[in-house]
Chain A
Amino acid sequence: MTIHQLSVFLENTTGTLVQVLRQLKKANVQLVAITIADTAEYGILRIVCAEPLRACEVLKEAGIAVAISDVFALELDNKPGCASDVIDLFSQAGISIAYVYTFLYGGKGILVFRTDNTELARKTIAENNLPFIAEDALAQWK
């Protein structure tokens, strides 16, 4: 029910982002979404891509601090209010969202997020029949 996201530790200086992206380019990895959570000194780069496990190996070999995080990705209708309705379900279940970002894919809005309670989140998704993206679907985005 979750997908693999790459989390990369970056120092907040010129050139560190492109260094990572260059490695992925060389390995021909198809990116789907990227976002950065930044602070004054460093950032955490988050990447959704077609082959996360292979991408992770590529980055590790290049000596980059990278980890795989399991996050949820839900497919929403691209209409006002959809995100609110979904998040509300988690809120009512007492689940905190650690971070969230969205992107459009094939006319659908994709909502990526991590929670503080993975099990409860799984249950909530199942009970409400929410359309989620499974890990094996990522490969098809290549």
Chain B
Amino acid sequence: MSRDEMSALQGKRLHKIVEYVYHNVPFYRHKLQEMDIRPDDIQTIEDIRKLPFTTKKDLRDNYPFGLQAAPQSEIIRVHASSGTTGNPTIVGYTRKDIGVWSECMARCLTAYGITRDDTFSVAYGYGLFTGGLGAHYGVEHLGASVIPAGTGNTEKHLKLIRDLGITGIACTPSYALYLAETMETMGIKKEDLKLRAGAFGAEPWTESMRKEIEDRLGLKGYNLYGLSEIMGPCVSYECQEQDGSHICEDHFYPEVINPVTLESLPNGQTGELVFTTLTKEGMPLLRYRTRDLCSLMPGQCGCGRTSIRMSRIEGRSDDMLIIRGINVFPSQVESVVLSMPEFAPRYMLVVDRVNNLDTLQVQVELRQEYFTATFDTPAAINELEKRLASKLKSVLSISAKVQLKAPGTIERSQGKSAHIIDKRKL
């Protein structure tokens, strides 16, 4: 499709989606009315700059279903991702949304060179996280065989990769390196495997990681980008050129803005990535601020696809951490620590990568006045640790190792990264 045709299609779809949310989502109707915008004011894709932004806070304020546009009976699936505090971010999908998602995901897989003759393993987590089911439905849509491996049980997974001649895999890049590690301990060589293509995403990774993964697993590694608020994995994908990720821009319209002034930036300049869903029924979003920092790449790709490409994610404009593909906010940890009187309101998240697996340690300070005679055995302290760990797990969705610190031993400091020590080299 030529750029002009694409712009025309995007303009038409944008008009439709604005009309749709105007009539179906009170949140957007009020916003548009306040700004004195009517759906008919939006005719071309350039008009998008007139529209208001949507933030994670808006999702939180309208929890759980406030931003949903389709009636509940049309929604057949919900996914949830981490919110900044106790409430997760909820996204509802209609049957058509699931269809678009599967189709876009199949588009990604096709770009990676996967066909219906391939056997493809999905090693993202299944469940509320969009990674597992998203990639899964895409592989089935394409007609390849899908192995819903999920996470964990790595040795068995490798055995299946070898014995079934699995040719493609989707997982986080750090899990790919962990697979390589485990291969070595099991004595499996990359020549024993038929892996050709890997779809890696859900966490930031570097060019040197790509090289290492490709070397050790004997495949080509491609970026796969997505976020649950917009859909899930499928929003953008690398092609064989491995030079930037093509955005499925007929469904998700990208902009890059200056996160401070909120002004649009020209292609090639790094800023915050913003998406507008052009076809979504369940929960359409206008100009959703992803907080991911990257740039849109000028020029056409050597593969012949005319769709616009985005660069690697270069960072975040907030304090969110991505650990094993899961989004973690320090404020989530804070909400847990504050809910337990045994601890002072001081905490630290220490993130590291051990054997290619991300680890999260949460350090909290015992409150002097809560250290009482009942805590005078290691068993009692263990119990307290376990209680905190299980609360953290229920809020963060990943396990954290808890370390209790003596009173006054965690440094007080201020600023964005006051509660984070990230030892990973990304």
Asked if the two chains touch in their complex, CB atoms less than 8 Å apart, one says yes
User: Which A residues fall within an 8 A CB radius of B?
Assistant: 5, 7, 9-11, 16, 37-39, 41-44, 46, 60, 63-70, 98-99, 114
Other-chain contact of B376, A11, A38, A69 (Cβ < 8 Å):
A69
Q: How far is the CA of A67 from the CA of B407 in the complex (A)?
A: 13
Q: How far is the CB of B402 from chain A (nearest CB, A)?
A: 9
Q: How far is the CA of A11 from the CA of B408 in the complex (A)?
A: 12
Report yes or no: B376 in contact with A63, Cβ–Cβ below 8 A.
no
A-B contact pairs, 30 of them (CB 8 A): A7-B373, A7-B376, A9-B371, A9-B404, A9-B406, A10-B406, A11-B405, A11-B409, A16-B406, A37-B378, A38-B378, A39-B382, A41-B403, A41-B404, A42-B404, A43-B378, A44-B376, A44-B377, A44-B378, A44-B381, A46-B376, A63-B368, A64-B406, A65-B368, A67-B371, A67-B376, A69-B373, A69-B376, A99-B377, A114-B376
Other-chain contact of A9, B366, B403, B408 (Cβ < 8 Å):
B366
Q: Which residues of B contact A46 (CB under 8 A)?
A: 376
Q: How far is the CA of A40 from the CA of B372 in the complex (A)?
A: 21
Q: How far is the CB of B338 from chain A (nearest CB, A)?
A: 19
Q: Does B27 contact A (CB under 8 A)?
A: no
B402 nearest in chain A by CB position: A41
Q: How far is the CB of A112 from chain B (nearest CB, A)?
A: 12
B371 nearest in chain A by CB position: A65
User: Which B residues fall within an 8 A CB radius of A?
Assistant: 366, 368, 371-373, 375-378, 381-382, 403-409
Report yes or no: A9 in contact with B377, Cβ–Cβ below 8 A.
no
Q: How far is the CA of A23 from the CA of B406 in the complex (A)?
A: 16
Q: A11-B409, A42-B381, A44-B381 are in contact. List 12 more A-B contacts (CB 8 A).
A: A9-B371, A9-B406, A10-B406, A11-B405, A38-B378, A42-B378, A63-B407, A64-B368, A65-B407, A67-B371, A67-B373, A99-B377
Q: How far is the CA of A16 from the CA of B368 in the complex (A)?
A: 16
Q: Which residues of B contact A64 (CB under 8 A)?
A: 368, 406-407
Q: How far is the CA of A18 from the CA of B250 in the complex (A)?
A: 67
Report yes or no: A11 in contact with B406, Cβ–Cβ below 8 A.
yes
Q: Which residues of A contact B366 (CB under 8 A)?
A: 9, 65
Report yes or no: A98 in contact with B373, Cβ–Cβ below 8 A.
no
Q: Which residues of B contact A41 (CB under 8 A)?
A: 403-404
Q: How far is the CA of A29 from the CA of B249 in the complex (A)?
A: 74
Q: How far is the CB of B39 from chain A (nearest CB, A)?
A: 59
Q: How far is the CA of A38 from the CA of B379 in the complex (A)?
A: 11
